[in-house]
Amino acid sequence: MKNIDSRGHVRGESIYLDDIPVQQGTLYGEVFDSPCANGIIRNIDYSKAAAFPGVFRILTSNDIPGENQIGGIIPDEPLFAETEVDFWGQPIALIIAESEEIAKEAKRLIKIDIEKRTPIVDPREARAKNSLIFPPRTFRIGDVKKAWNQCEHIIEGEADNEGQEHLYIETQGAYAYEIENGSIRISSSTQGPTAVQRTVAKVLGIGMHKIEVDVVRLGGGFGGKEDQATAWAVMAALGVHILKRPVKIVLHRLDDMRMTGKRHPYRSDFKIGLSKDLMILAYEATFHQNAGAAADLSPAVMERTLFHGTNSYFIPNAELTAYSCKTNLPPNTAFRGFGGPQGMFVIESAIAKAADILKVKAREIQEKNLLKDGDAFPYGQIAAQCLAGNAWNKASELYQVEKIEQEIDEFNKLNKHVKKGLAFQPICFGISFTNTRMNNARALVHVYHDGSVGISTGAVEMGQGVNTKMVQVAADIFSIAPDRIKLETTNTTRVANTSPSAASATADLNGKALHKACSAILERLKMQAARIHNAEASKIELKDNFVHLNGKQTETTWNQLIQAAFFDRISLSEVGHYATPEIHYDKSKEKGHPFAYHVFGTAIIIVTVDCIRGTYQFDSVKIVHDFGKSMNVSVDRGQIEGGVVQGIGWMTMEELMYNQEGKLISNALSTYKIPDIYSVPKEISIEHLETEGHDMAIQKSKAVGEPPLMYGLGAYFAIQNAVKAYNPNHELKFHAPFTPEKVLMGLYEGVGEKVKH
């Protein structure tokens, strides 16, 4: 089925937050934020700004009736800074005016006097100063201390990654207005409507029942609106609460880039031990997560770094420790992969370094150590329906790896100033929120008495196609045309207490809840049909708009059946609730079975490096991916293509930089480059792994949102191999992104010195 949004998107008719018509009397909010990363506020003079014509009010922490607190996991983040500021761009006040322009003008008139303190921007420095968000955690399997003795080779190193700007096309925003009696309706561009509802209620000091959050769709989220959409919605609601006028806030791109957190930069240490025949016997890693100034989702993100610290490999003795380091950057947050990519980059770096030192191909080490059924992850879950080897083997055969490698060798011999490099990138990604209790969802289904259907779930559409999948689920169960089904907006009044649309689990969780609701209605309809046809319900089927009896189509149409049920006063509405079975996790032991299942796959990435300029172009990304049984191939392929490109961008050109003062210097689209149509791989081939799918995946169609991003990790290592082909003196470094500047330095590092070896 085609994505139900495709027509609206192409015609520019799809509704985003900023397209929602505003009410008469709407006011506009502009955030006044900290001009330094760490300091004590001595004085703020709002008088000129407040007196500016058209300004209605300047809201600060003093105006908050409830708690000045928006921290989701740990209550450590004020909505508005009070006496000190902890990051550059931290909100201090909200100027509310009759237009955006006036609010912006007025902002310039605010005078702030801050006593600056030296910020911490580096996570290692934070750890040394014991500036941690919460205590460190360690995952263990086997006995790593003993295992070092058995290792033939032990290799140590560091692997660092920088952050990543989400760059959702639609910036953060919210629109709030009073309904009556103090109730507020908020349109929010959020992945987490319930988080917005809960936080607004807390800050305003009123019940959640007075807050209705509605989401039509997002113009991209990528994790950046899982938690960080909340602040703006809370500010708008606060304005409504105090001024009794509708308030709209939409961040300008530059404000959004400056004020919001990103993917977490990490600084990590590794030590890997291998046997003579390249089996990984021991692995130790220490991760320093740059959390920024408040927890936000960092505890959960850090957890996933640990869960994915051994990627797709079985390592019998491993010890992974992670520190969430508190620095003076904006609180870093969820970003597609959610800490997984950071963990996987370190093990891949360790393997690359080992391969370089041992003079073997990285792929030999990778292949030998792939997970198999029955292998344990460091967190205790046992690999089942493991497809790591299948994906790897299929990729090797289908794409004729030996032949490609030969061709690359030939090419590199023949070409002096252009070199090619190849890397394999296997992935293994656990599906479920790592916080077990979040793995539940609800759906509400109404069959209207004309036979059309309305469905609501907790899923937020952000371009990933979840709405299309939801329509498919209902259409399949009722066996009616998809255009008889309308997917309603995501609304906390229709579907309550939702988990955010995140963790790649949205279609699974909401789809299963929807499946339950539709199935319950279907059972009632079958009984109705049985009464009409004087038959047993078990002999009835609904197929292609008709009632079927004993496998044969009857004359009773879907519409007639619905009419009859309605006249017989049968309920045509249902709420479905789903909670993922079997999963559990014991944090005190760091063991359990946190994931419903894992998604596997292998990518082969080939790059061509221009050795004069240091620029590069990706020839191809050849993938074998475990879709399970994809319920929508075009939607799923779209997720893979987007994920791969986003992963490559993070590993190569997206250079997020803060200076020593904690100021974002890649603060605009002129200084922060993301992949465009010219820099995407020339070819992305995607092959399905034929499998049975997984029962805990919706319609056996495995989650596809985050896993493919990690194919992009291979981009780093492919470039590294090409650089090495040009300059054998190049000493491998592991500090993503591998920008053309770094490539150039690598190409000419030590040139003129004698070639080692």
Q: List strands edge to edge, sheet with 111-116.
A: 84-85, 39-45, 111-116
Name which of 96 and 503 has its Cβ closer to ligand MOS. Answer: 503
Q: Which tokens hold the place of 21?
A: 């018509």
Name which of 226 and 508 has its Cβ closer to ligand MOS. Answer: 226
Q: How many CB atoms lie within 10 A of CB 140?
A: 16
Q: Does 234 bind ligand MOS (CB under 6 A)?
A: no
Backbone φ, ψ for residue 243 (5° rounding): -95, -15
Out of 112, 144, 503, 718, the only residue in the binding site for ligand MOS (CB under 6 A) is: 503
The amino acid at 425: Q
Q: Which tokens hold the place of 247?
A: 């308030």
Q: Which tokens hold the place of 72?
A: 């989701």
Distance of CA 271 to the CA centre of its chain: 28
Name which of 190 and 727 has its Cβ closer to ligand MOS. Answer: 190
Return d(Cα 672, Cα 665) in angstroms, integer.
9
CB-CB contact of 756 with 729 (8 Å): yes
Contact code string over 166-195 relative to ligand MOS, x by CB under 6 A? -------------------------x----
Shortest distance in whole angstroms from residue 17 CB to ligand MOS? 18
Out of 112, 388, 502, 704, the only residue in the binding site for ligand MOS (CB under 6 A) is: 502
Return d(Cα 497, Cα 209) in angstroms, integer.
11
Shortest distance in whole angstroms from residue 194 CB to ligand MOS? 14
Contact code string over 453-492 relative to ligand MOS, x by CB under 6 A? ----------------------------------------
According to DSSP, the residues that pair with 33 across neighbouring strands are 91
Name which of 295 and 565 has its Cβ closer to ligand MOS. Answer: 295
CA distances to 537, 578, 723 from 733, rounded to whole Å, are 67, 46, 11
Shortest distance in whole angstroms from residue 466 CB to ligand MOS? 13
Which residues, 698 to 727, sit near ligand MOS by CB under 6 A? none
Name which of 228 and 620 has its Cβ closer to ligand MOS. Answer: 228
As to burial, measured by CB atoms within 10 angstroms (0-12 exposed, 13-18 middle, 19+ buried), residue 413 is exposed
Shortest distance in whole angstroms from residue 622 CB to ligand MOS? 26
Does the active-site annotation cover 706? Answer: yes
CB-CB contact of 497 with 656 (8 Å): no
Range list of H helices, 658-737: 713-726
Closest CA to 123 of 141, 110, 136, 139: 136
| Residue at shortest CB range from ligand MOS | 223
Out of 226, 303, 508, 590, the only residue in the binding site for ligand MOS (CB under 6 A) is: 226
Out of 88, 270, 338, 738, the only residue in the binding site for ligand MOS (CB under 6 A) is: 338
Name which of 226 and 269 has its Cβ closer to ligand MOS. Answer: 226
What is the DSSP secondary structure assignment for residue 539, as one 8-state letter? G
Q: Which tokens hold the place of 222?
A: 């990528």
Positive/negative CA dihedral, 293, 298, 302, 305: negative
Name which of 184 and 301 has its Cβ closer to ligand MOS. Answer: 301
Q: How many CB atoms lie within 10 A of CB 731?
A: 12
Which residues, 297 to 336, sit near ligand MOS by CB under 6 A? 334-336
Name which of 123 and 221 has its Cβ closer to ligand MOS. Answer: 221
Name which of 264 and 271 has its Cβ closer to ligand MOS. Answer: 264
Strands 453-457 and 485-487: parallel
User: Residue 352, SS3?
Assistant: helix
**Catalytic-role residue among 162, 407, 706, 753:** 706
Shortest distance in whole angstroms from residue 339 CB to ligand MOS? 9
Q: How many CB atoms lie within 10 A of CB 564?
A: 16
Shortest distance in whole angstroms from residue 57 CB to ligand MOS? 33
What is the DSSP secondary structure assignment for residue 569, as one 8-state letter? T
Shortest distance in whole angstroms from residue 334 CB to ligand MOS? 4
Q: Which tokens hold the place of 700?
A: 């056996």
Total of residues contacting ligand MOS (CB under 6 A): 9
Out of 223, 628, 675, 712, the only residue in the binding site for ligand MOS (CB under 6 A) is: 223
Half-sphere exposure of 720 (CA within 13 A, CB side): 25
Residues designated catalytic: 706
Q: Which residues bind ligand MOS (CB under 6 A)?
A: 191, 223, 226, 334-336, 338, 502-503
